[in-house]
Every structure is written in C-alpha cells, then in structure tokens.
Amino acid sequence: MSTPTLTLAGVTVATQANVYFGGQCVSHTVTLPDGTRKSVGVILPSTLTFTTGAPEVMEGVAGQCEVLLPGETAWRRFGPGERFAVPGQSSFQIRVEGEPYHYVCHFG
Amino acid sequence: MSTPTLTLAGVTVATQANVYFGGQCVSHTVTLPDGTRKSVGVILPSTLTFTTGAPEVMEGVAGQCEVLLPGETAWRRFGPGERFAVPGQSSFQIRVEGEPYHYVCHFG
C-alpha cells in the first residue's frame, strides 16, 4: 500500500458531476494539462456493477471496497493507496459497506 | 440567467469527497492558484438544511432547486447560471425534485 493521491494539481474540473445508480456513485471529471482524463469519485454503501469503456485503474483514497474482477471468482478487498486494474470493454462488481469508498479513476 | 461555470481550470482538486446527509449531497473541494477555495457538488432529490460558516454564493450548473433563504418566507427557484447568496453563520433550506441539482459553491 502506498500513500493515496490526495490532490490533483493544475487540472481542469468539469463542474457537472457524473451521477450513477441514482447517486450511489458520484464523480467529477478532471482533465490534466496533457489532456489525460481522470475522475474523482465516491461510492456509497451498495453493491454495484460497472461496465468499462477504456481500461481503467481504480485507486482508493479513503474507505474500503471489495471487488469482483472479470474472470475471477473471489472478492478482493482494496483500501486507501491500493489500486486495481479493470480491462476495457468489461465489467466488474464493487461492494462498499459502512463508510463511503473514495477513489481516483485513472483511464487508459 | 448567464452561462454557468462549466469548468474550473488550473485548480487543485481534493480527491476525497465531502459527503453530506448520507450522500444526498456530495462535493469535491477545489483550490484556485490564488488560494481561493470553491466546491463543485451535486444534490440529489431531497429537502436539506445547510448551515454556513463563511458566506457563500451558490451557482447552479445543471438542474433546478428551490431555496428558502434565512429571513425569507417564500421559496425561490434557481436553475443553471443563476446564483443565490447565503450569509455566513446562517442556514438555508434547499429542495431538489426530479433531477439532481449541480452547483459550484463560491466561498467568502
């Protein structure tokens, strides 16, 4: 486990949020000076299935989650500073219990 | 009504969200190069009472809300590009129906 990304500096933030699953997941899209896009978000206690377009790496910032990655049969737990990668054009399940799970989603 | 602030550029974003009222309101804090702090957030359909520390100006980005400001007896409706000011050390009620209300909160 490493220190999570606590801030993203020198970025452009889209002021309109992305609201998924009726608000169980809310994120804001961030664009870096080189054009790289990320999102900063939070998942409230729930079990959700996300589908990916581009490959993504989820990095925990605060809280815990359990994840069932494509092709796997066991749930894996991730916390602050821990990352998991999800292939593009796939889906994964994520389960959050108790406290919200805060993350940075790195695309591509 | 003017065009809402669609992006905030050259800013630092805190990756951990602010989660209020069990997730009915979620925001991310943004710091401008001059140190000015703002937040970008969304309120899901609900009626909430917020208390202010510093004075704030709420600017709608998407969606609609109705607001009962301190000392007023009538609810007022605000949409994208519209702003309302709330004194410091006070409270106000906000009601969102249907679609989420996205905002930028300008402090001070």
pLDDT per position as a tens digit, A9-33: 999 999 999 999 999 999 999 999 9
In-domain check, residue A14? no
* Radius of gyration of chain A measured on its C-alpha atoms: 13
Confirm or reject contact between B100 and chain A (CB < 8 A).
yes
Residue of A nearest to B46 (CA): A23
In-domain check, residue B3? no
In-domain check, residue B2? no
Using 50, 70 and 90 to split pLDDT, how confident is the model at B108? Answer: confident
Structural domain including A55 reads 33-107
Q: What is the ipTM of this complex?
A: 0.95
| Cross-strand partners of B48 | B94
Using 50, 70 and 90 to split pLDDT, how confident is the model at B2? Answer: confident
Q: Closest partner residue to B26 among A26, A30, A103, by Cβ?
A: A26
- CATH number for the domain spanning B54: value is 2.60.120.10
Q: Tokens representing B51?
A: 């208390």
The answer to whether the CB of A25 falls within 8 A of the CB of A58 is: no
Q: What is the pLDDT of residues B51-84, one digit of tens each?
A: 999 999 999 999 999 999 999 999 999 999 999 9
In-domain check, residue B6? no
Confirm or reject contact between B91 and chain A (CB < 8 A).
no
Q: What is the pLDDT of residues A51-81, one digit of tens each?
A: 999 999 999 999 999 999 999 999 999 999 9
In chain B, the percentage of residues whose pLDDT exceeds 70 is 99
In-domain check, residue B94? yes
The total number of structural domains in chain A stands at 1
CB contact under 8 A, A19 and B44: yes
3-state secondary structure chain B: CCCCCCEEEEEEEECCCEEEHHHCEEEEEEECCCCCEEEEEEECCEEEEEECCCCEEEEEEECCEEEECCCCCCCEEECCCCEEEECCCCEEEEEECCCCEEEEEEEC
In-domain check, residue B36? yes
